[in-house]
């Protein structure tokens, strides 16, 4: 009797709710449930397995990134037979960009399933894309490549991938702006400094100089984001010259 009770209690109500929500997102029943729990465990939980290895989503994120890249590459290879290597690489980068993955994770509300000791409001924006990749890694380990491919087609390719629209999408305003400056032989400089505002999270501010003149300013929670935001503002200020 104790043995039966132990089995019945082995999955808590909380776990039950977790898998009901997760399987609704996945569209199939999971088998290796521990993998999925790991995919939604933040490092702040400080969990270890019996061998002392960290239990969190980060290794699954690495695996999911590779699987996503593989499936998207195969899709583009078959969908655009006229595309050369450079074109296919560029298009894949647009589909699996951090911005796009964050959008996917947000739309699926994956953050609601994350276990963490940190308030979710304190997470950086990339948590959404990181968890999405970890989930793909978990699917691969649980069900194999075919299920992984099916999920990516269902949740990424069918609802979001429009080849014509993506062809015109800019991945990095900073790269585009630097390329234009080099082509036009213009001097440019990103002056980044820590912003001493009253925000709870640390912010960075940036001034973008072109030919020794400030053309854009921005602030964000990382140097990279601040530079990209300033570059986007500068791009729209110089759009006619850049795109002509």
pLDDT in tens, the chain (244 residues): 444 444 444 444 568 789 999 999 999 999 999 999 999 999 999 999 899 999 999 999 999 999 999 999 999 999 999 889 988 998 898 899 888 899 999 999 999 999 999 888 888 889 999 999 999 999 999 999 999 999 999 999 998 888 877 777 777 788 888 888 998 999 999 998 887 666 667 788 999 999 999 999 998 888 888 898 898 898 888 888 887 7
Whole-model pTM: value is: 0.69
- Is 61 annotated among the ligand-binding residues? yes
- Is 167 annotated among the ligand-binding residues? no
- Is 103 annotated among the ligand-binding residues? no
What domains lie within the chain, and their CATH numbers? 2-167 (1.10.1520.10), 173-243 (3.30.160.20)
Active site positions, annotated: 65, 133
Minimal CA–CA distance to 108: which of 124, 127, 132? 132
């Amino acid at each position: 009797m104790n043995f039966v009770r132990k089995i019945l209690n082995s999955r808590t109500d909380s776990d039950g709710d977790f898998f009901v929500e997760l399987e609704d997102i996945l569209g199939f029943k999971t088998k290796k449930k521990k993998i999925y729990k790991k995919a939604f465990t933040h490092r702040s939980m400080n969990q270890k397995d019996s061998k002392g290895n960290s239990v969190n989503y980060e290794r699954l994120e690495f695996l999911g990134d590779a699987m996503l890249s593989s499936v998207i590459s195969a899709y583009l290879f078959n969908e655009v037979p006229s595309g050369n290597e450079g074109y296919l690489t560029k298009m894949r980068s647009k589909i699996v960009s951090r911005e796009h993955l964050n959008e996917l994770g947000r739309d699926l509300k994956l953050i609601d399933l994350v276990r963490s000791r940190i308030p979710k409001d304190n997470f950086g924006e990339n948590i959404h894309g990181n968890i999405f990749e970890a989930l793909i890694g978990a699917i691969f380990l649980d069900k194999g490549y075919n299920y992984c491919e099916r999920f990516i087609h269902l949740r990424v390719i069918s609802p979001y991938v429009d080849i014509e629209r993506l062809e015109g999408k800019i991945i990095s305003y900073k790269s585009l702006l630097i390329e234009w400056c080099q082509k036009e032989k213009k001097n440019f400089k990103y002056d980044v400094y820590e912003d001493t505002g009253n925000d709870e999270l640390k912010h960075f501010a940036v001034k973008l100089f072109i030919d020794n003149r400030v053309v854009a300013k921005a602030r964000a929670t990382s140097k990279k984001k601040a530079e990209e935001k300033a570059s986007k503002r500068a791009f729209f200020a110089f759009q006619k010259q850049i795109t002509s």
